[in-house]
Amino acid sequence: MGYFYLLLVLKLEALKPELGEQALLEKLANRDTNAIEAIYKENFKMARNFILSNNGDHDDAKDIFQEAMIVLYEKSRSENFTLTCQIKTFLYSVCRRLWLKKLQQSGQLTTLVEGMEETTGVEEDLELRQKENHDFAIMEKAMESLGEPCKSLLEAYYFEKKGMDEIAEQFGYTNADNAKNQKYKCMVRLKKIFFAQYNTGM
């Protein structure tokens, strides 16, 4: 009986309109640490319970959940993004799809223990994400094969958004112009390596 009561409560919770969620997602799109942490805290347990009760361990739960967070993040950044369901429902559905896929890939075809959460269609988001993951891996590999100091130099410029003067000082170039020259040379190399992979990968 207690079980049904719990179900009822969960159902009601799910139907309650979440006023704060849209605002939370807007903050997520801007990579606001507090927003990410709030969503993380609120939903990780759910993903963990699901994966632990379906043949996974804690590390699996963490990997799958973080991947789902990235899907949500990318979705929140897309231009015509609207929230059609609760964040929890979305994350749960993504985790479920991802984990099912992983189980299938590893040849474990155990039946899933169903959670009580509702699910929503996430196929499109996941397909998009797969392409992104693919591109990410190519860029990562290209970056790795670039070697030093090119890698650090480009990271300082593109990731840490440092100015050329600062970079020149950090890497020991005599002036900003020389650093800039080197940056362009590195970028040309990175571009070559990236496209060599990217084009064959298409």
Partner 1 sequence: MKEIQLLETIEKYLEGKMTESEIAWFDDLRSKTPEIDQLVVEHKLFDSKLHQYANQLQFKNELQAIHNRLVEEGEIQDMDASSTKAKVIRLWNKYKRVTAIAASIASITALVIYSLVSFFAPVAKMNDLQQLSKKIDQVQRNQQMQGAKIREFDSKIPSGYTITAGGTAFLIDGKGYLITNAHVIKGSGAVVIDNKGNEYKAKIIRIDQDKDIALLKIDDSDYKKYNSLPYSISKSNLDLGTEIFTLGYPKDEIVYNMGYLSARNGYNGDTSNFQISLNANPGNSGGPVFNNRGEIVGIISTRQAQAEGVVFAVKAKKIFELLSDLKADDPTYANIKMPTYTTIKNDNRVTQLKKVEDYIYLVKSYNSN
| Interface contacts to partner 1, rule CB under 8 A | 31, 33, 36-37, 40-41, 44-45, 48, 52, 57-58, 62, 66, 69-70, 73, 132, 135-136, 139-140, 143-144, 148, 158-159, 181, 184-185, 187-188, 190-191, 194-195, 198
Least distance to partner 1, CB of residue 12, Å: 25
Q: Which is nearer to partner 1, 46 or 121 (CB)?
A: 46
- How far is 172 from 131, CA to CA, in rounded Å? 38
> Which segments of the chain does DSSP mark as H helices, in order?
2-15, 19-29, 33-52, 58-77, 87-105, 123-146, 150-154, 164-171, 176-201
Q: Which is nearer to partner 1, 121 or 130 (CB)?
A: 130
Q: Which is nearer to partner 1, 104 or 158 (CB)?
A: 158
Q: Which amino acid, residue 4?
A: F
Q: Is the Cβ–Cβ distance between 101 and 107 less than 8 Å?
A: no
Q: Which is nearer to partner 1, 8 or 52 (CB)?
A: 52
Burial 122-143 (b: 16+ CB within 10 A, else e): beebbeebeeeeeeeebeeebb
Least distance to partner 1, CB of residue 69, Å: 6
- How far is 44 from 200, CA to CA, in rounded Å? 38
Least distance to partner 1, CB of residue 107, Å: 15
Least distance to partner 1, CB of residue 34, Å: 10
Q: Is the Cβ–Cβ distance between 126 and 148 less than 8 Å?
A: no
Least distance to partner 1, CB of residue 87, Å: 15
Burial 183-197 (b: 16+ CB within 10 A, else e): beebbebbeebbeeb
Q: Which is nearer to partner 1, 5 or 159 (CB)?
A: 159
Least distance to partner 1, CB of residue 101, Å: 20
- How far is 67 from 130, CA to CA, in rounded Å? 11
Q: Which is nearer to partner 1, 11 or 58 (CB)?
A: 58
